Each structure stands twice: as C-alpha cells, then as structure tokens.
Amino acid sequence: MPGLYEGGRRNMRQALIVATMATLVCLTGVSTVSAEWDPQAFADEETLELLTISEEEGEYWFPVWLVVLDDAVFVRLGTRAAERVEANKTAPLLGVRIAGEEFSRVKAVDEPDMAERVADAMGEKYWSDVFIKYFPHPLTMRLTPEP
C-alpha cells in the first residue's frame, strides 16, 4: 500500500523537523524557562527598567536606580514614575528588566519605612544623588518576583 507508506514517511519527516526545531531553540538559549531572580547578582547594576501599562501610554518602560538591601531589590521613585506605578493596570505587578534579563511578574511592595535607609544607600551608590535627593521621592518599593 504505497499511500500508507508515503503518509508514514511524511509524518516521520514532520516529526524530525519538530525535533530539530526544538533542539535549535534549546541551543540558542530561547526557552520558556525564566531567569533566576538574584538580588545579590543585581547589586552592582546601575539601573533597572520598570514596565507599566496605562490607558494613556499603553506599555511604558522606564529606567530607575536600584539598591540591594537585606537581599532585596529596592527602588525609589520620583513623582512621575510613582504616578505611572499607581496607575498601572497590572498593579501591584510590574515588568522588570535587569542585568540582561526580563521578569514579567514582579510585585511592587510599598515600603515607606525603608525610605530613609534606601535614600542613604542611593547616596552611597550614586554620586549624582547629591542633587537628586532634594527632589521628591513619594514612593520607595521593594521588588519581589511572583512565581
């Protein structure tokens, strides 16, 4: 029965193509496995980017300074950035890009009790904070990845 044989050959060929594509995806580093959130590995990074989604702007990525304290990532936001986070349609979740990795579900936790400590750490890490510290920073947040 040549028809069955040809169909079987075609299915084998399709299976081989699928297996080859899966292998290429794994070898090129494109995968569905998410990166590991490691605050200590981020400690020397200068900035990270936050993603908010709003009615007016849609998706909006913006950079912010970060510090790592007590094995947690903290950011301090100025007025406009704080407004973006508060208007975010996916609140309290944000997208975060850091150290060449992207995390799509990071919880932003308001930490007003950490504001002074975070400000001090920012002053030690960033020389230009000598000026920036005089601008309002209404929101200090700890960033925690969601599973």
| 3-state SS, residue 107 | strand
Eight-class DSSP state of 35: P
| 3-state SS, residue 18 | helix
| pTM of the predicted model as reported, rounded to 2 decimal places | 0.75
Residue 19 confidence (pLDDT) above 50: no
pLDDT digits (tens, 9 = 90+) for 67-126: 999 999 999 999 999 999 999 999 999 999 999 999 999 999 999 999 999 999 999 999
pLDDT digits (tens, 9 = 90+) for 6-18: 555 545 455 434 3
Measure the CA–CA gap between 98 and 107, rounded to whole angstroms. Answer: 15
Nearest one of 145, 25, 32, 38 to 100, comparing CA atoms: 38
Write down how long the chain is: 147
